[in-house]
A and B are shown apart, each in its own frame.
Chain A
Amino acid sequence: MIKVEGLTKQFKVHKKTPGLKGSISSLFNREYIIKEAIKDINLEINQGEILGLIGSNGAGKTTLTKILSGIIHPTAGKVSVLGFDPWERDNRYRKQMSLIMGQKAQLWWDLPAADGFLLLKEIYQIPDTQFKQRLAYLSESLGIEKELNVQVRKLSLGERMKVELIAALLHQPKVVFLDEPTIGLDLSAQKAVRRFIKEYRKEFNPIMILTSHYMDDIEDLCDRIIIMKEGEFVYDGSIKQVQQEYAQSKLVTAQASPNINVSEEYRKFPKSLGEIEINDNGKITVRSPREKVMEAASYLIHYLKIEDLNISEEDIGDVIEHIMSKGKEA
């Protein structure tokens, strides 16, 4: 279990005036500003939960991850992860947690991943049999068996991410922090990583905290999301709840019959039923208020002689963007 109370983190950052004059004056006199990366947040996460942390750059997501993993020290507040204070860096805690950084390699760049795994086996004191079993399971699940003996620096980005995942999960941690695990990966690699994370979670039931700018990661993996803005939590709940509470519209998409006069029907569509878009191929999209969606669908069926119809929730990314822009008042 993770428990956070009144957590605050401030950074003292050097503020430099641009230009050569600013560089010279900073040799003798420096101006500092205090940046509040996290402001008095509270959080509880239970075993088996996978939490998505969303926010724009600088919102405080990675700072929170670093504090929970023990890399940096909070300015104020209490943190408890599996009963440990991460800052104390107790080995009993470190043996049960893992941080996977999409933007930073942890394996030794000049050596094959297999060599790195052997060192991690010793570091985490994994017995031989279990090490072989886990390595076989992880490498087969990720389809990366053949690349384990290639220098890490010579692997593609997707392959590198997969071996990093193996390195981070060899010791079967109970808490896994995933900091942008799919960043820079192509679509098939992203899907493979997501599929793997889901299977791993189902098998081993760890706490997972995922930070990602890709909505597909969040939608596919997370039970619960927290939206951060300027160091504060502006939303904490499930994705379904986000849509129900904040998505004011639904999308009705349909394929119009080839016989209809597109521009005329566009003009005649009642504005009270929502905003309509019709493209050159006859694809109709209506963004309709929740309470009017059935009426809008009926209108389309009756007047536009549609051949196909689909009703869906508004894009979750748009909803979250709206919440982020409004902050706590949303």
Chain B
Amino acid sequence: MELRRTLTYRADFWVNFIGQTLFSIVIAYFLWSSIFETLNVQTLNGFTMERMIVYYLLVPLVFRIQQGQTIGSISREIYEGSLNKFLLYPINFYGFKIITHFAGAVFYYAQIFVIIGLYQVFADNPIFEMSFLKLFYFTIAMLGISIAYFCLNSLSELVAFWADYIWSLGVIIRFAVSFMGGALIPLSFFPEWSMKILNLTPFPYMISFPMKILLEEVALKEFFLNMTILALWTLVFLFFSRVLWNKGRYRYTGVGI
């Protein structure tokens, strides 16, 4: 259903597919070429200009895969009362929402490989190579990250049972994930002391880690360790989501009918 809904509005689909990527590249190019020029360097914290452009070409797509399509929908449904239909249907609400979330991610997942394919074909000397192992690691990682992000985000959205309208909380979560995950600035630019703290949070595993899978070689041990940390965080989010859901539904008034 969610896939069909995404394909319904053609203009929005193509603008989304092409426009956002172009927008991200243009900003990254002008910003970082100016920084490199000002500092008069070829490499900055392990990034050449080309690597930087590729990073900013792919990172918004990784971020979009993680976000899916349903972000904001739970709090909106609580606020508007459209949660009612999910309470009436004989389905698990969370399960339904996760599947819908994945459906939204599918297109960005396909899009990232189209972009990678075009880069591999047209770049003179691509800075990374794709392999089946990388594809496998990346797919599993994005699956796990997508679930983790959904659980983290839904935790914040369930606050709507108490606060009604919490759009700004969702914005803060998205900003925190994108900043502390490395979507705004690569994490190699962060001070070492901050990385020690950040590595205790789920954020680096949500963006920086899948980017590392694509652009570098990741050993099985590192992959396994990072995915385990992410899984543990996911369980924590799920636990608190369950608590909030069980308490919150007593407060739900089903406004709107």
Contacts and interface: CB of A to CB of B under 8 A. Distances in A.
Interface of A: 11, 62, 66, 69-73, 89, 91-92, 94-95, 97-99, 101, 103-104, 106, 108, 110-111, 115-116, 119, 123-124, 151, 179
Contacts of A70: 87-88
A226 B169 CA distance: 44
Interface pairs A-B: 4 shortest CB-CB: A91-B90, A94-B90, A71-B254, A106-B85
A92 B90 CA distance: 8
A71 B1 CA distance: 24
A120 B22 CA distance: 39
Contact of A123 (B89, B249, B253, B254): B89
Contacts of A69: 88
A277 to B, nearest CB: 41
A291 B158 CA distance: 63
Contact of A111 (B4, B87, B91): B4
Q: Is chain A's binding surface mostly helix, strand, loop or mixed?
A: mixed
Given A104-B82, A111-B1, A119-B1, A11 B253 contact: yes
18 contacts: A66-B84, A66-B257, A69-B88, A70-B87, A71-B252, A89-B87, A94-B90, A101-B257, A103-B256, A103-B257, A104-B82, A104-B84, A104-B256, A106-B88, A108-B1, A123-B89, A124-B90, A151-B8
A115 B1 contact: yes
Contacts of A94: 88-90
Nearest to B250: A73
Nearest to B81: A104
A69 B81 CA distance: 14
Contacts of A151: 8
Nearest to A92: B90
Q: Is chain B's binding surface mostly helix, strand, loop or mixed?
A: loop
A131 to B, nearest CB: 16
Interface in B60-110: 81-82, 84-85, 87-91
Given A99-B88, A123-B90, A73 B257 contact: no
B193 interface: no
Given A108-B1, A108-B5, A111-B8, A72 B90 contact: no
Interface residues of B, number: 21
B9 interface: yes
Interface string B242-257: 0000000110111011
A10 to B, nearest CB: 11
Given A104-B257, A115-B1, A71 B90 contact: no
Contacts of A92: 90
Interface in B1-46: 1, 4-5, 8-9
B4 A115 contact: yes
A170 B254 CA distance: 24
Contact of A95 (B81, B85, B90, B253): B90
Contact of B257 (A62, A91, A110, A123): A62
Contacts of A111: 1, 4-5, 8
Contacts of B90: 91-92, 94-95, 123-124
A179 B257 contact: yes
A101 B253 CA distance: 15
A108 B5 CA distance: 9
Given A11-B253, A104-B256, A71 B88 contact: yes
Contacts of B9: 110
Contacts of B252: 71-73
B91 A123 contact: yes
A282 to B, nearest CB: 48
